[in-house]
Amino acid sequence: MTFHAKPLLLLCTFLCVVSCKSQTVVSNKFSENPPIVNDTTFVNLKDYSKDFVYDMKYATSDNFLKAKVYDCAECFLRLKTVKAIVEANKAFMEMGYKIKFFDCYRPLDVQKKMWKIVSNPSYVADPSKGSIHNRGGAVDITLVDSNGKELDMGTTFDFFGIEAGHDYLNLSPEIIANRQLLKKIMMEKGFNSLDSEWWHYNLKSALNDKVSNAKWNCD
């Protein structure tokens, strides 16, 4: 290799690293000098806040699939989604509540596993199109009180009847108020709701992000 070729090789290497950055999974670990990552990089939510509660359903068989499809229970999201959900949780904490997670970013390979088990677009997004979960911009959540008890939302997570919809009003005033509280704060922090699922929220700015199959390591 000539002397003149080396700078060109270094430049090409740098550009490759930058272009691949959005599909990287990064661990931040609350360090004093955290790595600088862009808003579309996948990060572990636990590394950015310790104030959430988790019940990652698809890392167990306690879900509508009756199958474990994640190797371990981790909540990864794109950094911009993490920033927005942390702000939402701060607002809930001021009221005495916390967000509890059921699902976060879902690699495309996991979406394919789910589709193989239940090939019905009413319940599972077709992996040929991908879902917002595969883009790192969707969260499935509820609220818990100061004792860790879930607020009554009228149905369980992943209940596929009409009772789970935001427009269904044949519910107690308490349940309606709980759903409205969750929706109000989430929308104020940049999320959209899904009409048929009270637990599902999409970050508006993530709707056009690319479907990803980025993976994380299970320790």
Q: Which fold has domain 39-206?
A: Muramoyl-pentapeptide Carboxypeptidase; domain 2 (3.30.1380)
Structure confidence at residue 34 (pLDDT): 53
Question: Residue 55 carries which side chain, given as an amino acid letter?
Answer: D
pLDDT, mean over the chain: 88
Does 189 score more than 90 pLDDT? yes
* CB neighbour list of residue 80: distance below 8 Å, 6 or more residues apart: 39, 40, 203, 205, 206
pLDDT at 104 over 60: yes
Check: CB of residue 100 under 8 Å from CB of residue 144. Answer: yes
- Mean pLDDT across 109-123: 94
CB atoms within 10 A of CB 45: 24
Range of weakest confidence among 33-47, 117-131, 140-154:
33-47
Secondary structure letter of residue 59 according to DSSP = G
Out of 26-35, 81-90, 178-187, 207-216, pick the least confident: 26-35
The neighbour count for residue 135, using CB atoms within 10 Å, is: 24
Q: Which two tokens stand for residue 75?
A: 């909540």
Question: Could you identify the residue written with the tokens 């704060």?
Answer: 185
| Residue ranges covered by each domain of the chain | 39-206
pTM: 0.84
